[in-house]
Amino acid sequence: MLLLRRRWRSENEDVSLVTLSATYGAGGSKVGPALAQRLDAPFVDRLIPSEVASRLSVPLAAAFAHDEASSGVLTRLLLSLAPIGQAFGAEAPASERVADRNFRETTEQAIFERAESGRGVILGRAGAVVLRDDPRALHVRLDGPREARLRQAMRLQRIERPTAERRMRETDRARHAYVHHFQRADARDPALYHLLINSTAIDLAGCVEIIALAAERRARQTSPERLVGT
């Protein structure tokens, strides 16, 4: 407990730490930055691959190639997962397994350090799994019916339906594979989250307010004084 209290900010400072998971078309890329602004907290998204690239001394493109939103990594991830990989007779070479482990460990370290202050909105990167033992974090998932997410993606991205359908197939499968491959978890498991929101039934601005309220409530509930008194 003493170690945890040392890691927390002082009682006069707000603690607003949110991990945000979102399916394609659920509006995560819109809600994340808006929520960070609403909470006056750092937004952590594409910054993670940049830090990983720097720490591993690899080109930024290589770090992005491992990133969950990369459709290019989907094939290798799926082929490396049993029983699919076994069906194709494919197994990631030892060098790739080592590279994946280094990437995972470095990504987790970057997330831990970003969460150290108790402030931030972390989009994706299996944040709910990585920070599952952090009592300060509020874990949120945005989702919705497939058809509604397709329509929302078409509107937000100003794209035609065939493009939205292709991106949905690639993105949702890639994100699921990312969490399964690197964290051995199912991103769709509701037990990972404190809050599940159908962001196609509630406008995105409303989602921001709901999450902000929940984050503020959780910050008070998990304050050092509250926990010490229990």
- Is the link from the previous residue into 162 a cis peptide, with omega within 30 of 0? no
Q: In what order do the strands lie in the sheet with 137-143?
A: 43-44, 119-123, 16-22, 137-143, 195-198
CA separation for the pair 103, 97 (Å, rounded): 10
135: helix, coil or strand? coil
* 3-class secondary structure per residue, 146-200: HHHHHHHHHHHHCCCHHHHHHHHHHHHHHHHHHHHHHHCCCCCCHHHCCEEEECC
Q: Please tell me which residue, 104 or 16, carries the higher pLDDT value.
A: 16
Residue type, 179: V
Q: How far is CA 155 from the centre of its chain?
A: 23
pLDDT at 224: 56
- Asked if residues 26 and 152 have their Cβ atoms less than 8 Å apart, the reply is yes
pLDDT tens-digit readout, 127-186: 999 999 999 999 999 999 999 999 999 999 999 999 999 999 988 888 888 788 778 899
Enter the tokens of residue 128.
Answer: 């709910």
pLDDT band at 74 (very low <50, low <70, confident <90, very high): very low
Nearest-5° Cα angle at 133, 132 to 138: 55
Mean of pLDDT values over 62-67: 50
Q: What are the structural domains of the chain?
A: 2-221 (3.40.50.300)
pLDDT at 211: 97
- Asked if residues 119 and 43 have their Cβ atoms less than 8 Å apart, the reply is no
- pTM summary value: 0.73
DSSP result, 40-72: T--EESTHHHHHHHHHHT--HHHHHHHSTT-TH
- On the question of pLDDT at 44 being above 60, the answer is yes
> What percent of the chain is predicted at pLDDT more than 90?
44
pLDDT at 226: 53
pLDDT band at 38 (very low <50, low <70, confident <90, very high): very high
Mean of pLDDT values over 24-43: 94
What CA dihedral angle connects 198, 168, 80 and 44, to 10 degrees? -60
- On the question of pLDDT at 5 being above 50, the answer is no
pLDDT tens-digit readout, 191-224: 999 999 999 999 999 999 999 999 988 888 766 5
Sign of CA dihedral 78, 193, 140, 206: positive
